[in-house]
A and B are shown apart, each in its own frame.
Chain A
Amino acid sequence: MTTSIKISKLSKGYKKEVVLNDLDWTINQGDIIGLLGKNGAGKSTLLSAILNIHPADSGSVTIFDQDNKALSNEVKARIAYVPQQNDEIPWLTIKELIAFKKQFYLQWNDEKVDELITRWEINTKKKMSELSVGQGQRVLIILALASNPDLMIFDEPAAALDPAGRRDFLREIVNLAVEENKTIIFSTHITSDLERIANKVAILHQGKICHFDDLDNVKENVVRVAVHSKSVRDVVVPNALNTQKSNCQISSVVTHLDKTWQQEMQAQGHQVEVNPMGLEDIFLEITA
């Protein structure tokens, strides 16, 4: 597998607060990653540090094997970034902005631009500053998709979109995912979006990527286990994230279900119940 992004020992803080703490993370081509983290966990800081928009304090990042502080124009043209804040030139009309942006890219998909402008009913005569937050975000997404990039980084793309806009956005990501080798990272709070289109999930917690795995693995491994019995005093659940215990029931969320343990428990006459969990619950448990 080819590496798209390699992050080593990345640290960044604001004043006295440490946001990213010696963070290591390797992302492969073809990964479609949903990045989760609590408010203030540093998702935006991480995404903008990857692209060196707001440089890190220490550590290194390579993108397509080049140092992110010295990317060639060829590599830059393969990257698209959609920030949370619309920072495009406010006095340009949408039409002017598109023409302006187009100059920087070797590949530019005019058809895609026209299709989305029409579908999303964007008035290209308007200035960027005259758009609503949602419309502005749509324009940014159009600009990002138009350059047919190999690496796309979206910072909360769905936050300002209405349900129809979100669905359209997801569809575009699905279309991109069909062409293999695209790398997509998006931060989000909407876990159901992530569950649809991501193949990997990353959780940013306490300055590090504390969990990075295939979404299917996460769902298959992290489960809620309950043991019922006359007495569960001596029962210890392996790999437990947290445990609630009463006299005759013990309930834990485990990072990995130990099948041998489960069989032993059942052989001893305990009832073991295993229930799958949705990603939102898993996220809350891991970051609790």
Chain B
Amino acid sequence: MIQFNIAASSGIPIYKQVVEQIERMILNGFLAKGEFLPSVRQVANELNVNPMTISKAYGLLEERGYLSRQRGKGMMVAQQEEQISKKEKMAMLEKMIAELISDATQMGVNHKELLALFKTKVTSDDNNQASSVVSQGAEV
């Protein structure tokens, strides 16, 4: 069964943590299209959390088009249009970047410095990829 990593005492509601983790698993291909998710009851029992939390998470993912409810069979990873999936990926990255900026601000690193750091990192990664012969169709 897929593993979730739940921090009950975090300020982030558990359903949100589940939503985010499933989103990630779908976007990075860990969960394949057509694959079935464990039932609400199974997940609730496994994580020892209120089942309503899990059905709320599944419901939201269904609304966003990640999952589709199959009668009598449960929740399946939906077939997504390439474009939507790209848009979702960008949205997720944007969120991660926002977190990074907020972290940087807290550390007293200003935007200019952060941008410079980002540039250096991206450039060095590019160079590494160019020099390695077996770069497997480097995405992004």
Q: Chain A: residues with CB nearer than 8 A to chain B?
A: 32, 167, 170-171, 174-175, 177-178, 191-192, 195-199, 215-216, 219-220, 223, 271, 273, 275-281
Q: Is there an interface contact between A171 and B48, defined as CB atoms closer than 8 Å?
A: yes
Q: Is there an interface contact between A196 and B49, defined as CB atoms closer than 8 Å?
A: yes
Closest partner residue, chain A, to B44 (CB atom) = A174
Q: Chain B: residues with CB nearer than 8 A to chain A?
A: 8-16, 40-41, 44-45, 47-53, 56, 102, 105-106
Closest partner residue, chain A, to B53 (CB atom) = A199
23 contacts between A and B (CB under 8 A): A32-B52, A167-B48, A174-B45, A174-B49, A177-B44, A177-B52, A178-B44, A192-B9, A196-B8, A196-B47, A196-B50, A197-B50, A199-B50, A216-B53, A219-B12, A219-B13, A223-B11, A273-B106, A276-B10, A276-B12, A277-B11, A279-B9, A281-B11
Q: Is there an interface contact between B44 and A216, defined as CB atoms closer than 8 Å?
A: no
Contacts of A275 in B (CB 8 A): 11
A contact patch SS: helix
For the complex, what is the distance from the CA of A205 to the CA of B119, rounded to whole Å? Answer: 53
Given contacts A216-B15, A219-B12, A219-B13, contact A197 B45 (CB under 8 A): no
Given contacts A216-B15, A273-B105, contact A198 B9 (CB under 8 A): no
Contacts of B41 in A (CB 8 A): 178
Q: Is there an interface contact between B105 and A271, defined as CB atoms closer than 8 Å?
A: yes
For the complex, what is the distance from the CA of A144 to the CA of B112, rounded to whole Å? Answer: 62
Q: Is there an interface contact between B11 and A276, defined as CB atoms closer than 8 Å?
A: yes
Contacts of B105 in A (CB 8 A): 271, 273
Closest 10 CB pairs of A and B: A276-B11, A216-B13, A195-B8, A277-B11, A278-B9, A192-B9, A196-B8, A219-B13, A196-B49, A170-B48
Q: Is there an interface contact between A199 and B45, defined as CB atoms closer than 8 Å?
A: no
Closest partner residue, chain A, to B8 (CB atom) = A195
